[in-house]
Amino acid sequence: MRVLIGGGSGFVGRELTRLLKAKGHEVTIVSRQPGPGKITWSELESNGLPPCEGAVNLAGENLMNPLRWWNESYRKDLFSSRVDTTKTLAQAIADSPSPPRSWVLVSGVACYKPSLTAEYTEDSEWTPFDLLSKLVKEWEASALLPERAVLGRDGGAMKQMLLPFWLGLGGTLGSGGQPFPWIHVSDLAGIIAHALEPPADTPPPSQQVLNGVAPALNTNYEFTKELGRLMRRPTIFPVPGFVMNALMGSERAIVLTQGQKVIPQRTQEAGFQYKYPDLTSALKEIVGS
């Protein structure tokens, strides 16, 4: 299968590319920069979709970019880098005489309202309630084709959390009791590959959401203590919510200081087997590497 991956040069894209190539598939990346194995977004717009059987969009300005202040220009880039690239890919697919069989967008679990008690599956209804949930709404709407799309709602990059822990500065964020959805990047790549390869004997679903989170439901406290234990580092410096809000901007800090219990019900029903279903196995692999 030939797969086109928007933003495939990033954290998730590199893992997905490795996995797809190991399965014998060919990958072309859509990027802002030209290079081997890549086409640019403007080439995609002017030349149309290259021949492919699967397409994915992972492009987006990093929400946790430590080099950028939380201001209007950053917020604009967060939206446009996701919505515009998704629209460009969706349009190219819609215009293609031989469109791919699968089209997968990875968005975020920020659409589900943070709660200590509510449990969200792919069937949960939601309406936008803050900036990031509005982003998910616009982002997913821009992916919609008359026919098909898989929306993978992904939560939680673990690797980005390691540095403060190495420095012995890891601690619970906010109250620590908030749910903390996470997934190992290898499983996320696996879920995307699974979505790209619907069984040949069944027609692909017209549109479906897969929650790209691990099945274990953990709190930020559990995550912090387990990571500290495996790294043999103290985790005695809790970061209060108001400090997180001041450092990151409250619209963004909500991702870490409040959380949702997200259940990957359909992902599991679809037969996906996690390599790292629980915190200890996932963190051991990350800390070990």
Nearer to ligand NDP, 26 or 77 (CB): 77
DSSP 169-193: ----BTTS-SB-----HHHHHHHHH
Q: Nearest-CA neighbor of 279 among 221, 214, 234? A: 214
The answer to whether residue 73 forms part of the interface with ligand NDP (CB under 6 A) is no
Strand-by-strand arrangement of the 149-154 sheet:
38-40, 26-31, 2-6, 54-57, 102-108, 149-154, 207-212
Closest separation in Å from C-beta 140 to ligand NDP: 12
The answer to whether residue 13 forms part of the interface with ligand NDP (CB under 6 A) is yes
Nearer to ligand NDP, 160 or 242 (CB): 160
Nearer to ligand NDP, 160 or 236 (CB): 160
Whose CB is nearest to ligand NDP? 10
For ligand NDP, the binding residues in 88-127 under the rule CB under 6 A are: 106, 108
Interacting stretch for ligand NDP, rule CB under 6 A, among 45-53, 115-123, 155-163, 193-201?
A: 155-163
Q: Which of 17, 20, 39, 85 binds ligand NDP (CB under 6 A)?
A: 85
Q: Which of 81, 175, 186, 281 binds ligand NDP (CB under 6 A)?
A: 81
| Residue 251 phi, psi dihedral angles, 5° rounding | -65, -25
The answer to whether residue 60 forms part of the interface with ligand NDP (CB under 6 A) is yes
Q: Which of 4, 17, 20, 31 binds ligand NDP (CB under 6 A)?
A: 31
> DSSP 3-state assignment of 39?
strand
> DSSP 3-state assignment of 102?
strand
The answer to whether residue 264 forms part of the interface with ligand NDP (CB under 6 A) is no
